Amino acid sequence: MIERYLMKRAKVLLPEFKWSINYSTRSESAATVYYEGGPIPQPNNETDLRYPQYMFYFQSSRQNWDESMIAAYKVYDLFHKLTLDELVEVKEIGKTYRVYYMQALGEPIRVGEDQGVMEYSLNIQVTLREET
């Protein structure tokens, strides 16, 4: 839903990374934002709030393994406990969402090393509502 919005905000903080949405570029200094679904809203929820979850996935080369860890913690600091009231237009699906709150679902996770690439992930949950 709002992956592009999240990527643009994080990209300002980490312009040296090669960014993508919902697919990995599998390169050095790469970052990907994945939509991960989320819990189903309660049926009696008159506020129509939704809680989609997103994963940031960071990759860095053997020459600078700490880069992915540092990036994960910077994005954690950017989004954890972030209160806002911002409209986000998603042109691809013709919808607009009002974003209210973001929080990390935990600390950044060291996924490990794969073929000389260090990988970290960070999961966040967003509170939003579709505008009508």
CATH number of the CATH domain containing 94: 3.30.2000.10
Q: 5 and 87 in contact (C-beta within 8 Å)?
A: no
pLDDT for residue 48: 86
Distance CA 67, CA 83 (A): 27
Inter-residue long-range contacts of 16-21, CB under 8 Å, 24+ positions, other chains counted: 17/58, 17/71
- Tokens representing 25 are 């570029």
Q: What are the tens digits of pLDDT across the range 21-53? A: 998 876 779 999 999 999 877 777 777 899 999
User: Does residue 124 carry a pLDDT above 90?
Assistant: yes
Does the global pTM surpass 0.95? no
The answer to whether 128 touches 47, Cβ cutoff 8 Å, is no
Provide the residue range defining the domain that includes 123. 3-130
Q: Are strands 53-61 and 117-130 parallel, antiparallel or unpaired?
A: antiparallel
CB 56 within 8 A of CB 89: no
Element (H, E) at 54: strand 53-61
Average pLDDT over residues 57-75: 92
Q: Is the pLDDT of residue 12 over 80?
A: yes
- Can you name the residues that pair with 121 across neighbouring β-strands? 57, 109
Per the structure block, which two tokens stand in for 1?
């839903």
Q: How many CB atoms lie within 10 A of CB 46?
A: 6
Identify the pLDDT of residue 101: 97
Number of domains in the chain: 1
